[in-house]
Amino acid sequence: MRRRTEAPASSNEADNADKKGPDQRRQSPAEANGGVSYRSVLINLGKCLLLIIIIPPFLNYASLQREGQMLLPKDGQIVDVGLGQKMHLLCKGQGKPVVILDSPTGMSSDVWFHVQESVATLTKVCTYDRMGLGFSKRLMPNETTGTEKVWGMSTTGRMVDDLHRLIQAASIAKPFILVGSELGAFNGRFYSHIHDAQVSDLVLIDPIPEDVFEEDQWKEYWYGKVLPTFQARQFSAATGLSRMLIILGAIEPTVKGENVSEEVVQRQKYLLSNPAHQSSAVDEHYFLNESAAQVRDITKFKPLSSRVSVSVITGDSFDEQVPAHLNQMVAELQRKFLEESYPSANQIHIKGADRRMIYKKPSAVSQQLRRLVNQRQARQQSE
Ligand SMILES: *[C@@H]1O[C@H](CO)[C@@H](O)[C@H](O)[C@H]1NC(C)=O
Ligand SMILES: *[C@@H]1O[C@H](CO)[C@@H](O)[C@H](O)[C@H]1NC(C)=O
Ligand SMILES: *[C@@H]1O[C@H](CO)[C@@H](O)[C@H](O)[C@H]1NC(C)=O
């Protein structure tokens, strides 16, 4: 490859040399040759680099177009929630009360795969993609609808507004059981405080305490460690690097295992390579302090109605991969906000679990949700 392009280059150089003055012609052929091959190596290197920079993103975008159509879940619906927005809703099973699952920070509805399958044998269970994630496409900045003036993009207030419109548009039966993990727990709290008549039970899985962003150590961890990981993922998706790493097996989907269908695996790979999804994941992490502040305000301003039952599911630690002092801090602040805001909450501990429990220990989580559904169904029958 290199040789073939070298040949014309050196003959060019020879032509040039002929036109040069006698002084320059005295240059030894070896010297001239060395200069030429160095230059052509550089040129070829440049071409290779250009290919490496251009081709993967190009192939990635071409594949994303195709996969976006193909991998939309078969049971999923794209619901027009008004104001020009469309959201992806995925419901399984039949019956009441409906269970609604809200994902952790930056994650699509697939993260609930195991839990949804298990609880759907008892009742209707719905997951959805928050705006910008998964199959809920975010509007262009010039197409926004006015709600962003009230709540910033990718903050809890905005998400709750979207979820509320989604539930109306899809005519989901009320009251329902609202389950949220991490950021999903912020949303669950915000939703239940405002629309308390719609929620019979609020389940918080690994809730992040709203006061934690007051702590410098936490801010350092979240903005210094967690956020950069997601920014790197966004960059890697945009350059097509993620797709290559997935092909090489260096990146793997979060939800996998013997009972996970190929479609779910492919969909997660698609989202890992999708810069739009990754960008929204970054935003949700970036604005989590804003979300925390909103939840703190709403909790103070409008306490939760006593009609809503609250359950809190936590593991041994917030995240087994972070230093002990951070876990202690989160546990301490969790205890504080639960005491203050939800003193009669039913507290459930899952052994050996942390913030990854909904996909690492799904049967333990499903068991708690199934128990709650059974209780509600028994009460409905006796009424
Ligand atoms: C928003 O901008 C995009 C391109 O920047 C354009 O294609 C689209 O039509 C615009 N939408 C509206 C509602 O103006
Ligand atoms: C997969 O499903 C089978 C049958 O439903 C079940 O027995 C098995 O425990 C499941 N495996 C996992 C890892 O969930
Ligand atoms: C959230 O963090 C950003 C960046 O550190 C800061 O500018 C913003 O004021 C914070 N918001 C709140 C509500 O604390």
> Are residues 130 and 271 both part of a single domain?
yes
What is the band of 283 on the pLDDT scale with cuts at 50, 70, 90? very high
Beta carbon of 289 within 6 Å of any ligand 3 atom: yes
Distances (CA, A) of 56 to 51, 66, 70, 245, 275: 8, 16, 21, 11, 13
> Are residues 226 and 293 both part of a single domain?
yes
> Are residues 164 and 308 both part of a single domain?
yes
> Are residues 15 and 101 both part of a single domain?
no
Ligand 3 probe mutation, 154, 290, 291, most atoms within 8 A of CB: 290
Closest ligand to Cα 261 = 2
Q: What does the pLDDT read at residue 58?
A: 82
Ligand 3 center to 289 CA (angstroms)? 6
Q: How many domains does the chain have?
A: 2
pLDDT at 45 over 90: no
> Are residues 64 and 124 both part of a single domain?
no
Report the nearest atom of ligand 2 relative to the CA of 258.
13
Q: What does the pLDDT read at residue 82?
A: 84
> Are residues 233 and 294 both part of a single domain?
yes
What is the band of 144 on the pLDDT scale with cuts at 50, 70, 90? low
pLDDT at 197 over 70: yes
pTM, to two decimals:
0.84
Q: What does the pLDDT read at residue 50?
A: 79
> Are residues 179 and 231 both part of a single domain?
yes
Q: What does the pLDDT read at residue 57?
A: 83
Give the mean model confidence (pLDDT) for residues 144-167.
84
Domain harbouring 326, CATH code? 3.40.50.1820
pLDDT at 9 over 90: no
Beta carbon of 211 within 6 Å of any ligand 3 atom: no
Beta carbon of 261 within 6 Å of any ligand 1 atom: no
Give the mean model confidence (pLDDT) for residues 77-105.
94
Report the nearest atom of ligand 3 relative to the CA of 292.
13
pLDDT at 24 over 50: no
> Are residues 57 and 104 both part of a single domain?
no
pLDDT at 31 over 70: no
Beta carbon of 363 within 6 Å of any ligand 2 atom: no
**Single-letter code of the amino acid located at 25:** R
Q: What does the pLDDT read at residue 60?
A: 86
The residue among 69, 84, 109 that closes a domain is: 69
> Are residues 56 and 98 both part of a single domain?
no
> Are residues 124 and 52 both part of a single domain?
no
What is the band of 149 on the pLDDT scale with cuts at 50, 70, 90? low
Give the mean model confidence (pLDDT) for residues 13-26.
44
Higher pLDDT, 140 or 137: 137
Q: What does the pLDDT read at residue 218?
A: 95
Q: What does the pLDDT read at residue 151?
A: 82
The residue among 69, 94, 128 that closes a domain is: 69
Give the mean model confidence (pLDDT) for residues 74-81.
92
The residue among 53, 69, 85 that closes a domain is: 69
Report the nearest atom of ligand 1 relative to the CA of 142.
1
d(CA 123, CA 235): 40
> Are residues 279 and 334 both part of a single domain?
yes
> Are residues 61 and 159 both part of a single domain?
no
Higher pLDDT, 357 or 66: 357
Mean pLDDT of the chain: 88
d(CA 91, CA 330): 33
What is the band of 10 on the pLDDT scale with cuts at 50, 70, 90? very low
Beta carbon of 155 within 6 Å of any ligand 3 atom: no
Q: Whose CA is nearest to atom 4 of ligand 2?
A: 259
Domain span holding position 29: 2-69
What is the band of 322 on the pLDDT scale with cuts at 50, 70, 90? very high
Closest ligand to Cα 114 = 2
